Amino acid sequence: MTAAGLAPAGPEAARAAAAQLVADLPSAPAVWCSGLRKRYGKQQAVSGVSFSVDRGEVVGLLGPNGAGKTSVIKMLLGLVRPDAGEVMLLGAPASDPAARVRVGYLPELFRYQPWLDASELLALHVRLSGVDVSEHDQRECLALVGLADRAGDRLGGFSKGMQQRLGLAVALVARPDLVVLDEPTSALDPLGRADVRDIVLELKGRGVAVLLNSHLIGEVERVCDRVVILDRGQVAASGTLAELLGQRELRLHLTDLSAQARARLLATGKADQEGDWYTVALPVDDLGRAVPDLVAELVTLGARVHAVEPGRISLEEKLLGILREGAAGRAAAGSEGVQR
C-alpha cells in the first residue's frame, strides 16, 4: 500500500511536469555559429569565426571592407555554403527551412521588380514566406517604414532611400524572431537613419534579435548591446561596449598643480597634458567614485579645479586601434619571417 501523498503521478501529471521542465529551459540563442570558414579561390575570406546573438539582443558586426562581414551573414542564412563550421538559427540547424522562415533579411544589395507597386511587392514576399499576414498588417508594416502613402506607387519611381525603406519592410513583414540587416541605412538621410534606429530598438523591446552590419559606427554605438569586430576574416574583438571601450576619459582644467597633486593625477591613469588641460583615462567600473574622489583630493593637495568634463573613448577610436594593432602585428610577423 502506498503512503498518502507519495502515490506515483499519473500520465497526465507526468506530461505536465515534463512540459513545465522544457518551458523553464533557457531559449536557444537566435544565432549561434562556430568555426565558420570560407575560401574563394586563393582568398581566405572567413577563418574560424564564432559568435552568438541572444533573443532580444542587438549585435553589431563591424570591420573594414573585405573583413568578411557579408560572407559571414550569407553563411548564417544559408546563401553561401561554409567550407567548415556550424550554424544554428533559433535553436535549429540553419539548413532547416523551418528555421529560416522566422528570419527577416535586408541584404546590402537588392533589386526589386520595377513594375510592381509597394503593396504588391510586400504581398509577394508574404506568399514566399508562407506566413499568414493580413493585408492590414502589411499596410501597417509599410507605415512603420514611412511608406504608407506610397503603397500604390510603382517601384521603378522609387529613390534608393525609398527602396531601402521598402527592403526593411520586406524584412519585417512576416514578424520574424531574428532580423539580419546588412547596411540598412546606407542610402538614407539623417531622418531615415533615425527611423531605422527607432525600429531596431522597438524590435529589441519585443524580444526580436537583430544582427546589424553597418559602417555607420555612431548608429551601432546607439543601438547595439554587443559588438563583433571582424578583421581579415577573423574575430579581432567582441563584447559589450563597456567591455570593449574599457575606460572613460576625464578632462580637467587645473592650475597651481603641486608635485603631490600631479603625482595623484598620474596615479589615476594615463594622463595627457595640453596647457592647463589634462585628459585622464578612468576605469568604467569605478567611474561613480573615481571622479569625485579625484577632484576632492586634488583640491586638498592645493590644486585649483576650474572645469571637469567627462568624456568617453568612442567606438570608432577603439575600432581603429584594434585594426591598426592587427596591421602592426602582421607587419612585424612578416618582417620577422623575412629576417629568418
- The DSSP code sequence of 201-233 is HHHHHTT-EEEEE-S-HHHHHHH-SEEEEEETT
Tell me what the pLDDT averaged over the chain comes to.
84
What is the pTM for the complete model shown?
Answer: 0.75
Residues 195-254 have pLDDT tens digits of 889 999 999 999 999 999 988 787 888 889 999 999 889 998 888 887 777 667 788 899
Average pLDDT over residues 130-152: 92
Say whether 253 sits in a helix, a strand or coil: strand
Give CA–CA dist 4/224, Å, rounded: 55
Q: Higher confidence at residue 326 or residue 179?
A: 179
Indicate if the pLDDT at residue 47 is higher than 90: yes
CB–CB of 142/148 below 8 Å? yes
Say whether 187 sits in a helix, a strand or coil: coil
Angle subtended at Cα 187 by Cα 184 and Cα 190, rounded to the nearest 5 degrees: 90
What confidence score (pLDDT) does residue 214 get?
A: 85
- The candidate with the shortest Cα–Cα distance to 51, out of 63, 39, 65, is 63
Domains of the chain (ranges plus CATH)?
Answer: 31-243 (3.40.50.300), 247-312 (3.30.70.100)
CB–CB of 105/183 below 8 Å? no
Q: 74-78, 135-139, 264-268 — which is least confidently predicted?
A: 264-268
- The candidate with the shortest Cα–Cα distance to 167, out of 190, 152, 188, 149, is 188
What confidence score (pLDDT) does residue 1 get?
A: 47
User: Within a 10 A sphere around the Cβ of 328, how many other Cβ atoms?
Assistant: 10
Residues 23-33 have pLDDT tens digits of 454 578 999 99
Average pLDDT over residues 152-175: 91
Extract the C-alpha cell encoding 70.
557579408
What confidence score (pLDDT) does residue 11 get?
A: 67
- Helices 160-172 and 135-144, interaxial angle, to 10°? 130
Q: Higher confidence at residue 339 or residue 207?
A: 207
Q: Higher confidence at residue 50 or residue 12?
A: 50
